[in-house]
Amino acid sequence: MGLAGCSSEGEPSAGESTSADAREATTAPPPPPAAPKSLSEWRGGYSVWLDEVGADLREIGLAIHDRNALRLMREDGIEAYREGALDQYFESLRDCARLEATLTPAPKRAEATLDLLRRSCEPLARGGELVAAGIEEDDGALFREALAKWRTAVNLVEDGNEELAMPERVEALPLPVEDGQTEISRVEPLLTRATRLMNKGGRFAARCWSVEDWERIEREEFGKKVDLAGFATERYANLNLAPRMCESLALLAYSDERPTGVAQLDAAFAVVVLMHETAHLAEGDRFFTREEALAECWAMQFVRPAARSLGVEAAYADELAERYWEEVYPLVERKYRSPECKNGGKLDARPGTDVFP
């Protein structure tokens, strides 16, 4: 006797349907939904994603603020350049799949954050497209449009971070690169370039912070408002500058104003702070140091080239270096001074010359 619902050859007869048993034998059941990640596992992936997005925005942003890099990209074509230094950054900005692969399924407590991170994908990708078009068409207006997209994206990331019961530190969040005299938090391209004078090939960035963000960062790092001029962190490879330092440096870099009197001492101090924190992050036997006196002495000796890299005239750069050495250095805290910080001393960066600081 044949099986119910089957022909003698084992195939369904006309007008008859396959039995439930046969369907189960030929159709694999759908896989069960993946269990949500644990919160600790999710946070680990989140930290990696933040680092990657921060690197994307930093490296592309610094490149389009670098005349030589732009010239090479325009000469060779954006596609050729993508195959080199910036390829990974352009590609990852366009790829929101990494977010899905890394952060889904999210635990319940991270779902609101994940939703906002997903919303950041479109402006991140669109900003990358606008940069590529701006390079190809030699159109700076497209760079400004890209910056607006990236600013939208980082605001969404910041909002998502705030949805977490224990948010990541502000310093861990990505920032776009932006120049000019502005009060918003940003990676500053000219200041970052100045740090390369001491640390050639370095990958860290000079970050300027808004007043609100700076207060939060001080509380996160030090537990209270401590009124710092700047500090460096190895964990994030960031050089962080207080708003008033960036205001003084931006005045030198993006205006024709050259302060005199006490304001000139403020400008000299800001340049020294920039290079002092660079010394804490820079690589090399004589640079990478936690010793404040060494970092301060090296910083003073880089005032002239650092100021010149910001567009300051040679004579004014000389004034900044000399006034700091003569009027500020003798008054700084003892831990920032050394008897070997002098012409011919052990901390002389140019031994055998009379140039000091």
116 compared with 226, residue with greater pLDDT: 116
- Report if residue 125 sits inside a domain: yes
- 70 and 156 within one domain: yes
Q: What is the pLDDT of residue 8?
A: 39
Within a domain: residue 75? yes
Residues 52 and 72 in one domain: yes
pLDDT at 336: 96
Cα(255)–Cα(314) distance, integer angstroms: 16
CB atoms within 10 A of CB 54: 23
**CA-derived radius of gyration, the chain:** 28
Does 6 reside within a domain?
Answer: no
- Count CA within 13 A, CB hemisphere, residue 333: 4
Q: What's the pLDDT band for 347 if we cut at 50, 70, 90?
A: very high
CA angle 321, 325, 330 (to 5 degrees): 160
Residues 181/256, Cβ–Cβ less than 8 Å: no
**Does residue 93 sit within a domain?**
yes
Q: Does 4 fall in a domain?
A: no
Residues 6+ apart with CB under 8 A from 100: none
Query: pLDDT exceeding 70 applies to what percent of the chain?
Result: 86
- Which residues pair with residue 352 across a beta bridge? none
Give the chain's mean pLDDT.
87
Residue 31 in any domain: the answer is no
Strands 238-241 and 230-233: antiparallel
Same domain, 227 and 333: yes
68-76 — which CB contacts under 8 Å span 24+ positions? 70/135, 73/135, 74/135, 74/136, 74/138
Q: Are residues 51 and 71 in the same domain?
A: yes
pLDDT of residue 339: 96
**Distance of CA 330 to CAs 29, 159, 180, 306, 342, Å?**
78, 45, 33, 21, 12
Note whether 168 and 51 are same-domain residues: yes
pLDDT at 28: 65
> Is the same domain home to 165 and 184?
no
What does the pLDDT read at residue 31?
64
Domain assignment present for residue 98? The answer is yes
Contact (Cβ atoms closer than 8 angstroms) between residue 307 and residue 316: yes
Residues 153 and 243 in one domain: no
Q: Quick one: 81 and 207 in the same domain?
A: no
The tokens describing 145, both together, are 């449009």
334 in the same domain as 193: yes
CA 87/CA 80 separation, integer angstroms:
9
Amino acid identity at 152? T
Q: Of 160, 175, 190, which marks where a domain is finished?
A: 175
Same domain, 162 and 270: no
For the chain, what percent of residues have pLDDT higher than 90? 67
Q: How many domains does the chain have?
A: 2
Domain of residue 63: give its range: 37-175
* Residue 310 near residue 253 (C-beta atoms within 8 A): yes
**pTM of the entire structure?**
0.86
Token couple for 298: 């090296």
Instruction: Please write the tens of the pLDDT for every residue from 145-201.
Output: 999 999 999 999 999 999 999 999 999 999 999 999 999 999 999 999 999 998 777
Please indicate, yes or no, whether residues 154 and 197 belong to a single structural domain of this protein: no
Q: Residue 40 has which token pair?
A: 């600790």
Q: Where are the beta strands (DSSP E) in 179-308?
A: 186-187, 205-208, 230-233, 238-241
Query: Last residue of some domain: 123, 144, 175?
Result: 175
- Do 138 and 224 fall into the same domain? no
- CA distance linking residue 34 with residue 46, whole number of Å: 18
pLDDT digits (tens, 9 = 90+) for 31-55: 666 788 899 999 999 999 999 999 9
List pLDDT tens digits, range 289-329.
578 999 999 999 999 999 999 999 999 999 999 999 999 99
Say yes or no to pLDDT of 283 above 50. yes
The per-residue pLDDT for range 186-222, each reduced to its tens digit, is 999 999 999 999 877 777 899 999 999 999 999 998 8
Are the CB atoms for 238 and 188 separated by under 8 Å?
A: no
* Residue 352 belongs to a domain: yes
Find the range with the poorest average confidence among 5-14, 174-183, 210-219, 251-260. Answer: 5-14
Q: Which is higher by pLDDT, 58 or 93?
A: 58
Contact 196, 305 (CB under 8 A): no
Q: What are phi and psi of 231, to 5 degrees?
A: -160, 160
